[in-house]
């Protein structure tokens, strides 16, 4: 079970090595501290925005995709669009750490490589250590690549006869790594307002329509389990933006031709929702919704 691998993923591997090998300004924290709640940036205050993510953070699928680690002011992905929206009322400095083909979890990176899926690293080891300490806004959007990696492994027999148990175990590993990621971000940038985006139901996205029903069930179960772990971060002093239960996310008009990445309209929708949260709108993840069972269960 594979998704399109953009050329930007190959570029991301090379650029990532350059940045990690040559950057001595930001070093990894040995002991992250417990997170605490932070208010959104004050009206008119300068915003130092840092994005952690995968190809979506670079706008792959949009009309103007961005190379990793570049400001890309004219990009049409949700990160540069959000930065432009915020610049209407704030001075904004952007650090985009998103890397195509990255996964959030170190444990799932190991799993992906074991079963032949190309990845460029994980958020915990390759992005979190480089969050600028003066960040006042951080967004984290990970999980879709992780869900596809779990699907790949299961299609190759990794789960054996215990599909439910296997997915639960992978979700627990993902959740433990998510805890490390959020606490590490808060340790590096204690003044940052952090927004976590949950995982959409991969099985309800257009790219999954070509898979047999059982494959889609695996994708759905994995995505729901990973989204649950992202939802749990609401208790860790961050704001969670519910992607799983947003009906607009799944509209065909919001996807690029690969059926996996958003197009300009899809990215604009994500950016508008994020901007509303930065401007003080409430956000509470849903415990359940119709999207979680878009594919009929057994």
Ordered mean pLDDT values, 10 residues apiece, the chain (298 residues): 38 38 38 65 97 98 96 96 97 98 97 96 98 98 98 96 96 98 97 98 98 96 98 93 98 98 98 97 93 92
Please give the structure tokens belonging to residue 205.
Answer: 């996205």
Scan for tokens 């079970």, then name that residue: 1
Task: Kindly report the backbone phi and psi dihedral angles of residue 249, in degrees, each rounded to the nearest multiple of 5, phi listed first.
Answer: -60, -35
Nearest by Cα to 136 from 248, 39, 53: 39
Q: Can you give the pTM of this predicted structure?
A: 0.88
In a domain, 230, yes or no: yes
Cα(42)–Cα(29) distance, integer angstroms: 28
In a domain, 216, yes or no: yes
Q: pLDDT at position 297, please?
A: 82
Please give the structure tokens belonging to residue 274.
Answer: 């994020």
Q: Would you give the distance in Å from CA 288 to the centre of its chain?
A: 20
Q: pLDDT at position 69, please?
A: 95
Cα(196)–Cα(138) distance, integer angstroms: 8
Q: pLDDT at position 265, please?
A: 98
**The CATH number of the domain where 61 resides is what?**
3.40.50.1110
Give me the domain span that covers residue 57.
Answer: 49-293
Q: How many CB atoms lie within 10 A of CB 36?
A: 9
Q: pLDDT at position 17, please?
A: 42
Nearest by Cα to 195 from 56, 74, 76, 41: 41
Whether 139 and 47 have beta carbons less than 8 Å apart is answered as no
In a domain, 35, yes or no: no
Cα-based distances in Å from 124 to 91, 129, 175: 28, 7, 12
In a domain, 197, yes or no: yes
Cα(211)–Cα(35) distance, integer angstroms: 40
In a domain, 202, yes or no: yes
Count of the separate structural domains present in the chain: 1
Cα(207)–Cα(30) distance, integer angstroms: 40
Q: pLDDT at position 22, please?
A: 38
In a domain, 237, yes or no: yes
In a domain, 42, yes or no: no
In a domain, 266, yes or no: yes
Whether 136 and 192 have beta carbons less than 8 Å apart is answered as yes
């Amino acid at each position: 079970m594979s998704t399109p691998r953009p050329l930007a993923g190959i570029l991301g591997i090379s650029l990532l090595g350059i940045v990690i090998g040559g950057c001595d300004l930001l070093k990894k924290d040995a002991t992250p501290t417990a997170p605490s709640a932070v208010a959104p940036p004050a009206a008119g205050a300068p915003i130092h925005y840092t994005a952690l993510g995968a190809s979506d953070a670079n706008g792959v699928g949009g009309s103007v995709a961005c190379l990793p680690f570049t400001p890309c002011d004219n990009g049409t992905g949700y990160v540069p669009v959000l930065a432009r929206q915020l610049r209407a009322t704030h001075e904004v400095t952007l650090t985009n750490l998103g890397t195509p083909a990255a996964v959030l979890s170190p444990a799932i990176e190991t799993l992906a490589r074991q079963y032949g899926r190309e990845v460029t690293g994980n958020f915990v080891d390759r992005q979190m250590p480089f969050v600028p300490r003066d960040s006042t806004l951080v967004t984290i959007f990970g999980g879709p690549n992780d869900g596809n990696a779990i699907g790949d492994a299961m299609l190759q027999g990794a789960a054996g006869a215990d599909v439910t148990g296997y997915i639960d175990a992978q979700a627990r590993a993902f959740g433990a790594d998510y805890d490390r990621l959020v606490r590490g971000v808060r340790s590096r940038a204690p003044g940052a307002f952090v927004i976590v985006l949950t995982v959409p139901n991969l099985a309800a996205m257009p790219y999954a329509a070509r898979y047999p029903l059982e494959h889609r069930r695996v994708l759905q179960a994995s995505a729901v389990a990973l989204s649950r772990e992202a939802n749990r971060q609401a208790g860790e002093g961050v704001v969670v933006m519910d992607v799983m239960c947003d009906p607009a996310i799944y509209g065909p008009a919001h996807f690029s031709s690969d059926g996996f990445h958003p197009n300009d309209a899809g990215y604009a929708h994500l950016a508008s929702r994020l901007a509303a949260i930065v401007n003080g709108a409430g956000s509470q993840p849903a415990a359940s919704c119709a999207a979680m069972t878009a594919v009929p269960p057994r």
